[in-house]
Amino acid sequence: MTAAKRTLYLTTPIYYVNDVPHVGHAYTTIAADALTRARRLAGHDVFFLTGTDEHGQNIERIAREKGISEQEHCDRIAAAFRELWQRYDIRYDRFIRTTDLIHKRGVLRLWEKLRVAKTPDGRDAVYSGTYSGWYCPRCEGFKDEEELKQPGNLCPDHERPCEWTEEENLFFRLSAYEGWLRQTIESDTLRIRPESRRNEVLGVIQQGLKDFSVSRARVKWGIPVPEQPDHVLYVWVDALSNYITALGFADDAPDYRHYWAGGDERLHLIGKDIIRFHCLYWPAILYAAGVPVPTRAFGQGFITREGRRLSKSTGNVIDPVALVERLGPDAARYFLLREASYGADWDFTDAAFVARYNADLANDLGNLVSRALTMVARYCEAKVPPRPAPVSTTALQERWKRFLQSPEAAGASSRLKAFEEVSGSRLFGEAASELLVEHALARYEELDFAGALGEIWALVSSLNQAIVQTEPWTLAKDPARKGELDAFLYRLLEGVRVVATLASPVIPRAAARIFSMLDLGEREPGADDLAWGRLESGSRLGKVAPLFPRVEKANDAKETPVSETTPPSAPKPALPPSEAARLSAGEKIDIAEFAKVELRAAKITEAEKIAGSKKLVRLQVDLGGETRQVVAGIAESYEPQALVGKTIVLVANLKPAKLMGVESNGMVLAGAVDGNAVLCTFDSSVAPGTKVK
């Protein structure tokens, strides 16, 4: 029997659907995805949950303003989140929405337990009382009088007036759990990191915890309290419960039992803004209900611009769509996780993004891969050279262990680099990779993404230096040194493979492409790939294709800085540059890539030239029950009235873009014949909306 794998249940906050996603949401979700992949690489059994927080007064207000139902609004925004995660190559195991039935049923089951729960000193954990206080409808929370900005009793976060509220509410007796919470956090039974966040939470306990109300009278869009149907459950009780409802808490489902109740690790990634809810309210609620509590919480830092918080009202937002489109998902993921320590606040700049991309991805990694493969193509007929006899790593491992205890190691930004210097040994070959594997996985485990990547890049630079020092081109001139050359190149390729494996949690696409070039199949590396010497001698390497083509500086006219919301008049290229380069190199795409493009038959019902443009025409098209506006650059080839009635082929799932200020929701397909557009049509009648395959 094989031993059961260690489990990790990993969650992001569920994001509010007030608005489309922003870069802070992407930051947490990318970190969770990278950690999931890293822990799977380490052989663990991981379940990764994300989702959306959809109830509350804000949603009622926004839906009313838009003139649509709350559910419709939530559906739209939840879809935008899912679409964004797809672009970032996020692979969650489940996407929970608080409007899902499984969630509502789970919340009610938890509520049943809370209603009868007793505090450690034997009182009811939930009791009725009168609440009075300053309520901010935007925060959906009460504020202490001293927090308010004067004059006007303004919410300190939203700068809008708070309302004095008195209502009969049900309360949760948080104050009765002070001792238990302190002990749970101090003993690291609930391990809160970074340390500063742990101290902050202990500080809050020290000041004394107040009971909080768990029902709301004036909110309709929520889960009604069974014993008081004119109240809904407090939005935070509703929201926090997602972590267990998503696993099937309502039915004591196998996933719930495996990953939560019987799991080894239950880890919440959160921003520092919501640490109190997760580290005080949530554990106390669960403990009261007799449900196991989380084992870890990590509070990530906040991304700022020019030192200020990101906010639409001040205009300093970072558009996560523009960010991923600029240089592709790997580049965005790498930058966000490499640029700063995960727990710290940091300032985003376009220049830093481009500089990191060029230095680390295009130069260091890109050059290493292309040099290694080109040399093998040139000197070994593009086949993996014979595997050299393994070298014993015991002595180096011993020195490494001693080094890790030394002060030099403690102060080093890259321990592998520092070790190289202290020990005088080049990090090359099996020993280096073994040290790196263990060390990088440990850094990931601690959510030290920048640290893990720093160590992996120490090996990249070591491999690059080894090429310069060994001069394989000189070895190649001397047939007597063929064995030496082969051994060097084998180790170099293995180094590349180990780098791709260890970096794959952060840059999964590039890793899969490196694997494909190494004839290992275009696949995600797995735990088996960590061992040294996996490359099969004699296997044929693929064509060397550029991984990360260099780009010019941030304000290159061709590119839009990502720190501005994508201007509608400058539609982005459909593919990130690295993808585009690959395709223009004549490579084939697979059917799955093609399947991402949704082609449909569309009937033109209206057409008119766009004022001020020679080329553009505005079309209304019928997609079979749906009418769309599309802008097409065909005005020089067709008179508008000749277009009406034609059934054409439309790319139906393009993101909206504005052309000459007119919104376009799709793209019309046409051939270019001597500079004229010739529309793709059908040779017999096809109903509008029909899928084109």
Contacting positions for ligand MSP (CB under 6 A): 13-16, 24-25, 27-28, 53, 239-240, 242, 270-271, 273-274, 300, 302-303, 310
Q: What's the closest the beta carbon of residue 190 comes to ligand MSP, in angstroms? A: 16
Q: Under 8 Å CB-to-CB from 491, ≥6 apart: which residues?
A: 388, 428, 429, 430
141 vs 688, beta carbon nearer ligand MSP: 141
Q: What's the closest the beta carbon of residue 68 comes to ligand MSP, in angstroms? A: 20
77 vs 416, beta carbon nearer ligand MSP: 77
Tell me the residue number closest to ligand MSP, measured at CB.
24
Give the start-end residues of each E strand in 71-138: 94-97, 126-136
300 vs 470, beta carbon nearer ligand MSP: 300
Q: Are 418 and 412 in contact (CB under 8 A)?
A: yes
319 vs 420, beta carbon nearer ligand MSP: 319
Write b or e for each residue in 629-641: b if 16 or more Cβ atoms lie within 10 A of its Cβ, otherwise e.
ebbbbbbebbebe
300 vs 563, beta carbon nearer ligand MSP: 300
239 vs 619, beta carbon nearer ligand MSP: 239
Q: Tokens in use for 558?
A: 């061709």
Pairing of strands 141-143, 45-53: unpaired
Q: What's the closest the beta carbon of residue 302 comes to ligand MSP, in angstroms? A: 4
Q: What's the closest the beta carbon of residue 280 comes to ligand MSP, in angstroms? A: 13
Q: What's the closest the beta carbon of residue 315 comes to ligand MSP, in angstroms? A: 15
24 vs 263, beta carbon nearer ligand MSP: 24
Spatial distance between the Cα atoms of 4 and 639, rounded to a whole number of angstroms = 69
Q: Tokens in use for 630?
A: 């599309």
**Complete DSSP assignment for 217-265:** SS--SS-EETTEEEEEE-HHHHHHTHHHHTTTGGGT-HHIIIIIIT-SE
Spatial distance between the Cα atoms of 485 and 226, rounded to a whole number of angstroms = 76
∠ CA 636-642-644, rounded to 5°: 115
Q: In Å, how far are 574, 604, 650, 668 from 680, measured between CA atoms?
A: 20, 13, 9, 8
Q: What's the closest the beta carbon of residue 269 comes to ligand MSP, in angstroms? A: 7
6 vs 296, beta carbon nearer ligand MSP: 296
Q: What one-character DSSP code corresponds to residue 279?
A: I
Spatial distance between the Cα atoms of 149 and 144, rounded to a whole number of angstroms = 11
Q: What's the closest the beta carbon of residue 638 comes to ligand MSP, in angstroms? A: 46
Spatial distance between the Cα atoms of 334 and 450, rounded to a whole number of angstroms = 9
Spatial distance between the Cα atoms of 693 and 691, rounded to a whole number of angstroms = 6
Q: What's the closest the beta carbon of residue 30 comes to ligand MSP, in angstroms? A: 11
61 vs 615, beta carbon nearer ligand MSP: 61
132 vs 311, beta carbon nearer ligand MSP: 311
Q: What's the closest the beta carbon of residue 53 comes to ligand MSP, in angstroms? A: 3
275 vs 431, beta carbon nearer ligand MSP: 275
**Angle formed by the axes of helices 282-289 and 101-115, nearest 10°:** 70
Q: What's the closest the beta carbon of residue 289 comes to ligand MSP, in angstroms? A: 16
Beta-ladder partners of 154: 149, 161
Spatial distance between the Cα atoms of 124 and 118, rounded to a whole number of angstroms = 5
236 vs 488, beta carbon nearer ligand MSP: 236
Rg of the chain (C-alpha set): 29
Q: What's the closest the beta carbon of residue 13 comes to ligand MSP, in angstroms? A: 4
Candidates 194, 371, 166; CA nearest to 296 is: 194
With H, G, I as helix, E, B as strand and everything else as coil, classify residue 51.
strand
97 vs 600, beta carbon nearer ligand MSP: 97
281 vs 419, beta carbon nearer ligand MSP: 281
Q: What's the closest the beta carbon of residue 138 comes to ligand MSP, in angstroms? A: 11
Q: How many CB atoms lie within 10 A of CB 84?
A: 19
49 vs 499, beta carbon nearer ligand MSP: 49
25 vs 582, beta carbon nearer ligand MSP: 25
19 vs 528, beta carbon nearer ligand MSP: 19
Q: What's the closest the beta carbon of residue 678 comes to ligand MSP, in angstroms? A: 47
Q: How many CB atoms lie within 10 A of CB 315?
A: 11
Q: Under 8 Å CB-to-CB from 341, ≥6 apart: which residues?
A: 301, 448, 450, 451
Q: What's the closest the beta carbon of residue 424 comes to ligand MSP, in angstroms? A: 42
∠ CA 278-281-231, rounded to 5°: 115
Spatial distance between the Cα atoms of 547 and 507, rounded to a whole number of angstroms = 11
Q: How many CB atoms lie within 10 A of CB 353?
A: 25
Q: What's the closest the beta carbon of residue 297 comes to ligand MSP, in angstroms? A: 11
Q: What's the closest the beta carbon of residue 359 comes to ligand MSP, in angstroms? A: 24
Q: What one-character DSSP code corresponds to residue 209?
A: P
**Complete DSSP assignment for 331-393:** HHHHHHHHSS-TTS-EE--HHHHHHHIIIIIIIIIIHHHHHHHHHHHHHSTTBPPPPPPPPP-
Q: What's the closest the beta carbon of residue 509 comes to ligand MSP, in angstroms? A: 24
Q: What is the 3-state secondary structure (H, E, C) of 139-196?
A: CCEEECHHHCECCCCECCCCCCECEEEEEEEEEECHHHHHHHHHHHHHCCCCEEECHH
Kindly state the greatest CA–CA separation across the chain.
91
For the chain, helix (H) and strand (E) counts, in that order, are 26, 27
